[in-house]
Structure formats: C-alpha cells, structure tokens
Amino acid sequence: MSAARAAGILLAKELRVEFRTRELLSATIVFALVVVVLFSFAFDPTAAESRRYGPGLLWISFLFAGSLMLNPSFARERTNDTMDALRMAPISPFAILSAKMLANFIFMSLVEVVLVPVFSVLYNVSLSGIVCRLVLVLALGTVGLTVAGTVFSAISSHARLRELLLPLLLLPILTPLLIGAVEATASLFVDQPELDRTWLALLAGFDIVFLTASWLLCDYLIEE
Amino acid sequence: MKARYASTIAVAVLIFFAGYAALFIAPDEKTMHAIQRIFYFHLPSWIAMFTALSVVFVANIAYLATRRSKWDSLGVSAAELAVVCCTIGLATGPLWAKPVWGIWWTWDARLTTTFILWLLYISYLLLRGLLDDPEKKAVFSAVFGIFAFLDAPLVYVSNRLWRTQHPQPVILGGNNSGLDPMIGKVLLLCVIAVMGLMILVLLDRYRLEQLRQEFDELRLEQEALALEPSSIGRERS
C-alpha cells in the first residue's frame, strides 16, 4: 500500500474516532476560551490595549490549548494496545505519524476557526480586510505547532507524568514559532495592515526544519 | 588510575593559574575595571557549554545510528555538563550586567537563546528521568536532543530579528574590535583551564553512567532470576 493511501485511511480513522464523541475538540475549545477570558482580567481589554497584547494572547492560548490537546494523540493508542496493531501493519512509520499530524492540524484549525472570531468580538479587534492574510499566518503557525506537538506527544506518551511533560518539552521548543506568529499577527492588527514577510519566512523555516527532522526520525518514534 | 590523578592535578594547577592570571595579571579594563574580570570565566563557560551541546548532538545521532549504549551515556553526561556550564554562564552574566548595563537581565537574542537552551536541556534530563524503560529512554531522549539542537539556531535568529542588546562580538567582530594581547593570553589560559576541567568531569560522569547502566542490567537479571522459580512453582500448583 502506498504511504499516501495508508496515511489517508489512518487520517479517516483519526477523524472518525474524534467526531464520534467530539470530546477532545469541545474540551480544547472551552479551554482556549477560558484562557482568552482570563487574559481580560490580566490587562485592560480596551481596543488600543488589545491591539498591543492581542496577538500574544491569541497565540499563547493556542499554544496552551495545543499542548494539552496533543496529549491524547498517542496516549489514546495505548489503552487497547492499538499502537502495536498499527506498527505491525505493512505501512511506513511516516504514514502513521503524518496521519496523526494532519488530524491534529485539522483539530487545531477548527479550534482556531471558533476562537478567532470570538476573540475579535470580545477584544474589539476588527478582522475585516485581513482575513486571508491572517489565515495564512494561522496555517503556518499551526503546521509548526502540530508537527512538533505530534512528535513530542509520541515521546511523552511513553513517560510518566505525560500530561505535564508534553508542555514542558513542547513550549520552549516553540519559542521561535511563537515570536514569528505573534509578530506576523501583530503586523496585521494595526491601522494599515501589511503582512511582515520576515516573520512568514521564519514560520515557514520552522515548519520545514521540523517536518524534515520528523520525517528523518519517525522510524525511531514509532518503534517500540 | 595514575593518569586520572595526574590529569586531575594538572587541571587543578591550570585552574589556579588561570584564576591568578585573571585576577592579578590581566590589565585593568578602561571603563569597567575590576568587574570586567568576570569575563575570564563567563566566556570560557559559554565555550564549554557549546562544546558540550555539540557532543550531545553527535552522541544522539551516533546512538540512533549504532544503538550502542556508550553513546547514550556520553549524551546524558554531556547534557548534564552543558546545563552546569549554562548555569554558570547565566549566573555570571547578570553579575556582570548589573554594574555595567545597569540591569540584571535583558531579553536580548543571546541571553534569551541560552535561557531557552537551558530550559530545553533541563527538559531533556527530566524526560530521561520520566522514561522507565532503558531502551526507550535512550531512543526518545536522543530524538528530543536532536530536535532541541536544531531549534537553537531558530531561537537565535528569531530573537536576533526581534531585539538585541548584548554587545557585538569583541573578538573577530570587525575593524574596531580586538583585545589587548595580554587579555588575549589570559583568556586563552582560562579557556584551556575551564575546558580541561569540563573534559575531566565529562569523563568521570561518563564512567559513572556506564557503571550505573551495568548495575541496572545486573539488577534486572537478578530480579528475573529471583522471579523464575516462584512463577514456575505457581504454574505447577
């Protein structure tokens, strides 16, 4: 079976498992919302202030939500030892990993699709005219977040205290991504929005480095 | 054993002379005076840290390629050493910055990068502690180590683009840069002394890790032996 087809089947399986209950998605959305609301107590949410802190707030809530949401990605497979079944199937390890990455990308994007409009309403930041560029920034940032997050979720699923360990491994690694995403978003939240290409290049660079590394190292991640 | 004693004494003598030279022989700096002398241990500890990090990276790749446990031992030993050197650098930096820049800490590219590296390699050591299976511990920490090392340049570039305050490199930094020849000599002595110390500690730590792994294997064997008769007995009854 070709790797792409295997990945497609596994992706369908991931989506089916999640959409049967939607528990992971709904919990993550609520969590991200809680973070966004809590920030309104940490600083004065007027329009001017929101433009200054808004991008950081948005990305911090995505990073926190992501680092919690990615936990079950591999831990789920341990409950019924389904990981062993996947490993025994005649498919490449990268097919397994990339299916998980894609599924997590879709879940995270859905969280963002809900959260960004809510953020724009609550913090009085207008999105008109910048939607396409914002989607580009969100997509590049989310690719990096889910690629690194899925890899580390595979690592932390074997460890004790895995719920705590994943954010610990993931968040410091994501520093460049956070800076790039926040600065790119900030360049859109001004009066004359103009997307800063430097930060887009940084985000794309991060994505490429992490995708390549996870492609090279996936054999070691999936094996037992 | 003799070689160990000899090398320990040699490094101790080197450290003594380096300390003496840094405090009394090196010329006084024009504007910063005595406080500048912390530089003789600040810079060497960073050099030692980057050397240790490169050793971790090479050991991680070598482990994944060969699966020999010695590379895993070398990786964890060098990672611990890198964290120690980084701690020394992060502690001496603010001590120097406070009188000279007027602040303890600034979120400049180099400072932030090393701080993130410090966090990453502490996470690396924590990860090892939280993985019980020795094989998994070695494989997964090697994978994480490679990712952490690849992340370092990205952290640096992103912070560099963002904001920076740390002085431009004084050594090899362009036309106006350069050191007084005496400072250069003392610095070289300090770098050699600190590197010597680090290599000595690394070798000892490596030996300790090998012994520890050997001990763990023996204990597992012992436990397996102790379990066998009872489990067979239970099956029979």
The per-residue pLDDT for B237 is: 43
Predicted model pTM: 0.87
Six token digits for residue A102: 């894609």
Count of domains forming chain B: 1
Residue B232 lies in a domain: no
Quick check: A43 contacting B, CB < 8 Å? no
Rounded Cα–Cα distance for residues A49 and A205 (Å): 30
The confidence score (pLDDT) of residue B207 equals: 93
Q: Tokens 């009394």 label which residue?
A: B24
Residue B231 domain-assigned (yes or no)? no
Q: What is the pLDDT of residue A200?
A: 92
Is residue B184 domain-resident? yes
Q: What was the pLDDT predicted at B230?
A: 56
| Average pLDDT of span B66-73 | 92
Looking at residue A107, its pLDDT comes to 94
From the centroid of its chain, how far is CA B215?
25
Radius of gyration, alpha carbons of chain B: 22
Domain containing B64 equals 2-224
Burial of A69 (0-12, 13-18, 19+ CB in 10 A): buried
Q: Give tens-digit pLDDT for A92-107.
A: 889 999 999 999 999 9
Q: Chain B residues with CB inside 8 Å of A220's CB? A: 64, 139-140, 142-143
DSSP conformation letters of B159-201: HHHH---SPPPSTTSSTT----HHHHHHHHHHHHHHHHHHHHH
At A190, is the secondary structure helix, strand, or coil? Answer: coil
pLDDT at residue B134, as a whole number: 86
Task: With beta carbons less than 8 A apart as the criterion, state whether B194 and B44 touch.
Answer: yes
CB spacing of A176 vs B120 below 8 angstroms: no
Predicted confidence (pLDDT) per residue in B177-204, tens digit:
566 777 888 889 999 999 999 999 999 9
Does the pLDDT at position B29 exceed 80? Answer: no
Looking at this protein, which amino acid is placed at residue A178?
A: L
Structural domain contains residue B235: no
What are B103-151's pLDDT values in tens digits?
888 887 788 889 999 999 999 999 999 998 888 899 999 999 999 999 9
Least Cα separation, residue A111 to chain B (angstroms): 26
- A152 contacts chain B (CB < 8 A): yes
Could you tell me the CA-to-CA distances from B212 to B75, B127, B217 in Å, in that order? 14, 18, 9
For chain A, the structural domain boundaries read 3-222
Asked if A173 lies within 8 A of B148 by C-beta distance, the reply is yes
Please report residues of A whose CB lies closer than 8 A to that of B158. 175-176, 179-180, 202
Residue A224 is predicted with a pLDDT of 62
- Residue A159, min C-alpha distance to chain B (Å): 5
Note whether A86 and A96 are within 8 A (CB).
Answer: yes
The ranges of chain A with pLDDT < 70 are 1, 224
CA proximity to B159, closest of B108, B218, B207, B94: B108
Which of A151, A175, A199 is nearest residue B116 as measured by Cβ atoms? A175
Residue with tokens 């497979």: A77
Confidence at residue B236, expressed as pLDDT on a 0 to 100 scale: 47
Residue B139: which of A158, A169, A174 has the closest Cα? A158
Helices and strands in chain A, H and E counts: 10, 0
Whether residue B120 is contained in a domain is answered as yes
Tokens of B73: 């031992």
pLDDT of the residue at B56: 95
Could you identify the residue written with the tokens 């500048």?
Answer: B36
pLDDT at residue B210 tops 50: yes
Q: What spatial distance separates the first Cα and last Cα of chain A, rounded to whole Å?
A: 22
Is pLDDT of B231 > 60? no
pLDDT digits (tens, 9 = 90+) for B71-107: 999 999 999 999 999 999 999 988 888 888 888 888 8
- The reply to whether B230 falls in a domain is no
Task: For residue B123, give how far its alpha carbon lies from the nearest alpha carbon of chain A (Å).
Answer: 6
ipTM metric? 0.89
Instruction: Kindly state the DSSP code that residue A159 receives in the 8-state scheme.
Output: S
DSSP label at residue A127 = -
Per-residue pLDDT, averaged over B40-54, amounts to: 91
